Structure 1
Amino acid sequence: MAARFFTCFSGGRSRLRRSSSPDANATADLTAEEQRRLGPVLLELFSSQGCATSPDAEAIATRLTRPDKDSESVSGNLPPVVVLAFHVDYWDYNGWKDPFGSSAWSVRQKAYVEALRLDTLFTPQVVIGGRTECVGTDLDKVVETVRSAPRFTSPAMQVTFQRPTPETLQATFTGKLNMKIEASVDIMVAYYENGLVTDITNGVNNGRVLPNDHVVRRMEKAISVSDLAPKKAISATVQVQLWDGFNPAKTGILLFVQNSALQVLGVQQFKLPETV
């Protein structure tokens, strides 16, 4: 693709359209007990080491996951946030190939362009709960969007792990989604890595040492379900090929429920045992 189809934003607010959703007031409609069981808000960041402003957006995303270490002006009344950083590959032509970039993540971003009726791809972009988006360097807008995002009760799944081969990891999830499912939804499982550091030797970030957290290394659909009662148990197994340098101490797992419009309906986090 030609570079003219992409934008690397330096700041300000996105002028692209954002979609509204009929369940935008879902959180406000919950009882007090349901409010206490709400899960975190999912923030998806589309980023690239080949974009000059993506490092700033990554710093903001990481900051929002650590409200106890942040200023009250940013973190006050902010719901828990979980981040998945998808490194796209469409900037790889520009002097630096992002080692975490993947065409699969570019395809996921394109799916949001269609679902949210946007005009183009750009980095850094954040998508909140699969419903709204903004420029990832616009801290005020990101915080505002997170605060207004609907939240849902987290699934109650248990997970067990196996290593069928030294190069593969198998996870079996069993439990309840804690929500009534009518139309079909996908149960997605993402493996992400923290504490990554890259010396950039070319491109727009030449000479910088970039830290990266929440970097998605693998993501698979565990199962699709429909016509499911909130307390009905389900089970699904996901097997992934491990990446070079795999370190369970740096790896986390995120399970989330997503409908056909790519809207997130529930999120659950898991820690990977260091002995796996």
Structure 2
Amino acid sequence: MAWFWCCSKREKNKNGSSEVVGNGAKVHTASEMVESATATASASASKAGKGPSQGPVLIELFTSQGCTTSPSADLLISKLGRGDMQGLEVDVPVVVLAFHVDFWDYLGWKDPFSSSLWTVRQRAYSQALQQDSIYTPQVVVQGRAQCLGSNVDSVISLVRSAPRFTATDMQATVSKPSESTLQVSLSGPLRFKVDGYSLDVLVALYENDHVTDCTKGENKGRVLTNDFVVKGLEKACTVRDISARKTVTGKVTFNLWEGFSRNKCGLVLFFQNSSTMEIQGVQILTLPNNI
């Protein structure tokens, strides 16, 4: 069984012709990206009218600087994450996370953001989605469907058809107990019932604005840009068989890195079925200005 593979540079669109994802991208600050994504989610929720508003769709990208076709997917995810929807025909709010895997590190260039933990997460999706291999760049939408991350049409199609769930409003208290740690305390109702299964409450810490001069490997000589790079993923708690109104509490602690800057980082809260890997809700958390 082939366990790892890397796609070719050109992908077939739904008309059967070949297309290449563009390399151009506007420059935005990290804070502008978060504000834009939050505004997009709020605007979409306001259009829902009566009844509970619906939350955003979670897009997870599994990528590597050691893969020749990942940079185009990285740029697409950055564009989606900062709310630059021009020409993409996305009419639902999205939240994006980029997980850099480590199985291409042996090709001559070690991705500075890669982690075996993210490879394990991708394998878990592979099993849940009944795949016989893992690859880059791969996009997983709401934990329920996957496609080639550089295929714009496929990514947009999965996003537009993905199930959405009642918007959550968990209250988060964010603090720095020390210069090297970030702590997030959560409290609030899920706003949906959990019956007969377990649900993990997870928090991801990501970082934007990475520019890497790649000097070795498959992307030698290229300048690579990466946003929404997951630096930590922690479980606040696991809930089972609870009502929609019951208050859930939890706490996570992240180890910070040298050069950590609040202006480059963001937090995402999401709820994941621990057996099926399906996402059941997503919420953007705000990093206080004094962090």
TM-score category by the smaller chain?
Answer: 0.7 to 0.9
| RMSD value, Cα | 1.8
2:254 to 212, 222, 240: 240
- 8 Å Cα contact 2:60/2:98 also seen in 1: yes
Counterpart for residue 70 of structure 2: 54
Query: Aligned ranges for residues 85-104 of structure 1 at < 5 Å?
Result: 85-104=98-117
Partners of 1:157 and 1:135 in 2: CA distance: 32
Counterpart for residue 6 of structure 1: 4
Instruction: Write the letter of the residue equivalent to 1:108.
Output: R
2:217 is the counterpart of 1:219: no
Distance change >3 Å, CA 155–CA 13, structure 1 → 2: farther
**CA drift at 1:258:** 0.4
SS in 1 for 2:252: strand
Identity percentage of aligned residues: 49
**CA drift at 1:139:** 0.5
**CA drift at 1:227:** 1.5
Partners of 1:110 and 1:153 in 2: CA distance: 28
2:57 is the counterpart of 1:41: yes
**CA drift at 1:13:** 6.4
Cα deviations by residue, 1:55-110 (Å, 9 ceiling, x for unpaired): 10011112223445512xx225x211111100000000001000000000000000
Partners of 1:146 and 1:195 in 2: CA distance: 24
Partners of 2:288 and 2:105 in 1: CA distance: 34
**CA drift at 1:6:** 1.4
2:263 is the counterpart of 1:265: no
**CA drift at 1:33:** 2.9
Counterpart for residue 165 of structure 2: 152
SS in 2 for 1:93: helix
Cα deviations by residue, 1:188-218 (Å, 9 ceiling, x for unpaired): 1100111111111111111111110110000
1:208 to 174, 198, 222: 222
**CA drift at 1:272:** 1.1
Partners of 1:81 and 1:229 in 2: CA distance: 27
Cα deviations by residue, 1:145-171 (Å, 9 ceiling, x for unpaired): 100000001221111122222111111
Partners of 1:33 and 1:191 in 2: CA distance: 33
SS in 2 for 1:146: helix
Partners of 1:204 and 1:274 in 2: CA distance: 39
Q: Which moved more, 1:154-163 or 1:136-145?
A: 154-163
**CA drift at 1:116:** 0.3
1:135 to 122, 142, 148: 148
Identify unmatched segments of 5+ residues in structure 1.
15-30
Cα deviations by residue, 1:86-141 (Å, 9 ceiling, x for unpaired): 00000000010000000000000000110000010100000000000000011001
Instruction: Write the letter of the residue equivalent to 2:50.
Output: E
1:115 to 121, 128, 142: 128
Partners of 1:228 and 1:175 in 2: CA distance: 13
- 8 Å Cα contact 1:65/1:80 also seen in 2: no
Counterpart for residue 24 of structure 2: none
- 8 Å Cα contact 1:190/1:253 also seen in 2: yes
Instruction: Write the letter of the residue equivalent to 2:217.
Output: G
Partners of 2:110 and 2:160 in 1: CA distance: 34
- 8 Å Cα contact 2:3/2:132 also seen in 1: no
Identify unmatched segments of 5+ residues in structure 2.
14-47
**CA drift at 1:240:** 1.3
Aligned length: 254
Normalising by the residue count of structure 1, what TM-score does the alignment of the two structures yield?
0.87
1:163 to 176, 182, 189: 176
Distance change >3 Å, CA 217–CA 13, structure 1 → 2: farther
